[in-house]
């Protein structure tokens, strides 16, 4: 199967996986109301998901020992099983376990896929190839989240889960029959330590450049999460100030049009999700176009600096509907440019244990989100400007880690 068709299949698969992973954020309050719990309880469920996600390296190391295809299929199987759990047991503990299992499945699939592409593409072109697969991240917000919002508005909070499980099962079948079997014995002509996974862990955890590179993802993800977790609640709270005497002055015509079908709050969350998805798609496109030319470390530094500026502007722009959406667009496009530029950079840190490095990279990002999730509602208690200030501080930490990695 030619690489271009594999890229289409990988992107489609990641769109399905990421839809479940991402829909929790804009509909956090909706899920909480459906389950009869508060936002804090949901934030703890997301924290548990992120903490468990740090186990990704122990799972994804099988892609170094058993092959990339095996790792991708195992991740999808775990994702499907986790999605079905909440379908049969629609409770908060079941939902928390669903979030954990599907995240582990995602964190097994993604590094296996990235290692697969790293084996088959040169470093000079890897920014383009990785950026194409990352479209599955933004398309989840552009296509997946609006669809789930429509289903939730019509049939309740549980409605998206059966459809996501079905679509994931279809991609599993397509990958099973279309991907060639691969041997983990060599990676770009270099011997891989496939028979001793702990040796791969030791290689990564004793490398200063690798640890510094992992720290970039950790701190940047923390910065993003403190905004990511709270933006849906922030928009709902801000809506009260934007709506005028007629009930809709200051709100986009989109919201008025869909008011009767979806409800005002869900329509606003869908619109915000589409804006974020479009911003991320733009960021991924920018990586595809510029990261290989700029050089991956320079692109990461540029993205972190721009994301810091976006965080500083968010409270000021958030005084109106259009301003808030514009601020979110700028914030997410710069974050996506940063993280997608970071992925091809990390694929070349340690080629002989590539899947393990990429799994640690995902785990570091997951740990960053675990740090950000409980911080977000705490910071929001002091107002959204404090949330934005927290994002700035963590981005500065990421810039310092980038500088250390370059020295190494």
Vertex 173, ends 171 and 175: CA angle to 5°? 70
Residue 86, helix vs strand vs coil = helix
Phi and psi angles of residue 186, each rounded to the nearest 5 degrees, phi first: -140, 150
pLDDT of 119 > 90? The answer is no
Query: Could you give the 3-state DSSP secondary structure of residue 186?
Result: strand
pLDDT tens readout for residues 195-235: 466 777 888 888 888 899 999 999 999 999 888 777 766 76
Among positive and negative, which fits the CA dihedral 133, 137, 138, 139?
positive
The pLDDT score that the predictor gives to residue 338 is 92
Q: Quick check: is 244 in a domain? A: yes
The mean pLDDT value of the chain amounts to 82
| 291 or 311: which leads in pLDDT | 311
Q: What pLDDT score was predicted for residue 195?
A: 44
| pLDDT surpassing 60 at residue 241 | no
Mean pLDDT calculated for residue range 82-90: 94
Distance CA 378, CA 368 (A): 16
Domain containing 287 — which CATH number? 1.20.1250.20
pLDDT at 247: 42
pLDDT value at residue 39: 79
- How confident is the model at residue 238, as a pLDDT? 61
User: Tokens 């690489």 appear where?
Assistant: 3
Calculate helix-pair angle for 28-35, 264-294, nearest 10 degrees: 140
Q: Could you count the other beta carbons within 10 Å of the beta carbon of residue 168?
A: 25
| 194 in Cβ contact with 298 (< 8 Å) | no
- 83 or 293, higher pLDDT: 83
Using the predicted structure, report yes or no on whether residue 38 has a pLDDT greater than 90.
Answer: no
Q: What is the mean pLDDT of residues 330-359?
A: 84
Using CA atoms, how far apart are residues 319 and 313, in angstroms rounded to an integer? 11
User: What percent of the chain shows pLDDT beyond 90?
Assistant: 28
Q: Cβ of 11: how many Cβ atoms within 10 Å?
A: 16
Residue 95 within any structural domain of the chain: yes
Domain count along the chain: 1
152, 19 Cβ separation under 8 angstroms: no
- Triad 371, 361, 18: Cα angle to 5°: 75
Query: Would you say residue 245 has pLDDT above 70?
Result: no
Q: Is residue 185 part of a domain?
A: no
pLDDT at 355: 76
Whether the per-residue pLDDT at 187 is higher than 60: the answer is no
**Which residues are CB-contacts of 111 (< 8 A; sequence separation ≥ 6)?**
56, 60, 63, 71, 355, 358, 359, 361, 362
**Closest Cα to residue 43, out of 83, 89, 92, 81?**
92
Question: What does the pLDDT read at residue 392?
Answer: 94
Scanning the structure block, which residue is given the tokens 């499945």?
105
Alpha carbons within 13 angstroms on the beta-carbon side of residue 290 total 16
State the average pLDDT over residues 386-406. 93
The whole-number average pLDDT for the span 1-9 is 85
Q: What is the dihedral of CA 149, 151, 153, 156, to 10 degrees?
A: -120
Rounded Cα–Cα distance for residues 340 and 216 (Å): 12
Closest CA to 187 of 384, 356, 362: 356
* Confidence label for 408 from pLDDT (cuts 50, 70 and 90): low
- Supply the range of the domain harboring residue 64: 3-178+196-407
Yes or no: say if 353 and 203 are a contact pair by the CB < 8 Å rule. yes
Q: Is residue 7 part of a domain?
A: yes
pLDDT value at residue 246: 42
Residue 187 lies in a domain: no
Query: Is-contact 239 265, C-beta < 8 A?
Result: yes
Q: Residue range 377-393: average pLDDT? A: 89
Exposed e or buried b for every residue in 283-292, given b needs 16+ CB within 10 A?
Answer: bbbbbbebbb
Q: What would the two tokens of residue 11 be?
A: 């992107």
pLDDT of residue 7: 92
Quick check: helix, strand or coil at residue 191?
A: strand
Which are the contacts of 209, defined by CB distance < 8 A and separation ≥ 6? 349, 405, 408
The Cα 103–Cα 374 span in angstroms is 18
Which phi and psi angles does 193 have, rounded to 5°? -85, 65
- The reported pLDDT for the residue numbered 240 is 55
Contact 225, 339 (CB under 8 A): no
State the pLDDT confidence band at 169, using cuts at 50, 70 and 90.
Answer: very high
Residue 188 lies in a domain: no
Residue 184 within a domain: no
Residue 314 domain-assigned? yes
Tokens of 203: 């290689």
Residue 35, both tokens: 């389950």
């Amino acid at each position: 199967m030619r690489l271009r068709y594999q890229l289409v299949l990988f992107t489609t698969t990641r769109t399905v996986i990421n839809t479940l992973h991402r829909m929790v954020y804009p509909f956090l309050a909706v899920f909480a109301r459906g389950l009869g719990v508060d936002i804090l309880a949901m934030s703890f469920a997301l924290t548990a998901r992120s903490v468990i996600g740090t186990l990704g390296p122990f799972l994804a190391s099988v892609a170094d020992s058993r092959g990339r295809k095996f790792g991708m299929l195992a991740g999808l199987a775990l994702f499907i099983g986790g999605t079905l759990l909440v379908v049969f047991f629609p409770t908060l503990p079941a939902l928390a376990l669903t979030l954990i299992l599907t995240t582990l499945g995602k964190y097994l699939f993604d590094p296996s896929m990235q290692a697969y592409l790293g084996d088959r593409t040169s470093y000079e072109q890897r920014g383009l190839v990785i950026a194409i697969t990352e479209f599955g991240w933004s398309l989840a917000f552009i296509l997946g989240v609006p669809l789930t919002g429509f289903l939730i508005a019509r049939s309740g909070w549980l409605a998206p889960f059966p459809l996501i499980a079905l679509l994931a099962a279809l991609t599993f079948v397509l990958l099973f029959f279309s991907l060639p079997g691969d041997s983990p014995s060599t990676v770009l002509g270099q011997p891989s330590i496939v028979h001793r996974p702990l040796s791969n862990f030791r290689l990564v955890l004793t490398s200063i450049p690798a640890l510094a590179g992992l720290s970039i993802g950790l701190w940047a993800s923390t910065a993003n999460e403190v905004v990511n977790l709270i933006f849906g609640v922030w928009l709902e709270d801000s809506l009260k100030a934007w709506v005028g005497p007629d009930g809709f002055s200051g709100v986009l015509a989109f919201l008025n049009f869909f008011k009767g079908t979806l409800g005002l709050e869900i329509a606003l969350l869908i619109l915000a999700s589409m804006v974020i998805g479009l911003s991320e798609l733009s960021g991924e496109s920018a990586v595809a176009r510029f990261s290989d030319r700029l050089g991956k470390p320079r692109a990461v530094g540029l993205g972190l600096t721009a994301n810091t500026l976006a965080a500083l502007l968010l409270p000021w722009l958030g005084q109106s509907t259009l301003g808030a959406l514009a601020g979110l667009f700028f914030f997410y496009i710069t974050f996506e440019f940063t993280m997608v530029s970071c992925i091809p950079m990390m694929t070349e840190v340690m080629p002989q244990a590539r899947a393990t490095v990429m799994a640690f990279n995902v785990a570091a990002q997951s740990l960053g989100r675990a740090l950000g999730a409980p911080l977000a509602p705490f910071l929001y208690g002091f107002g959204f400007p404090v949330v934005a200030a927290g994002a700035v501080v963590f981005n500065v930490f990421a810039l310092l880690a980038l500088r250390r990695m370059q020295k190494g």
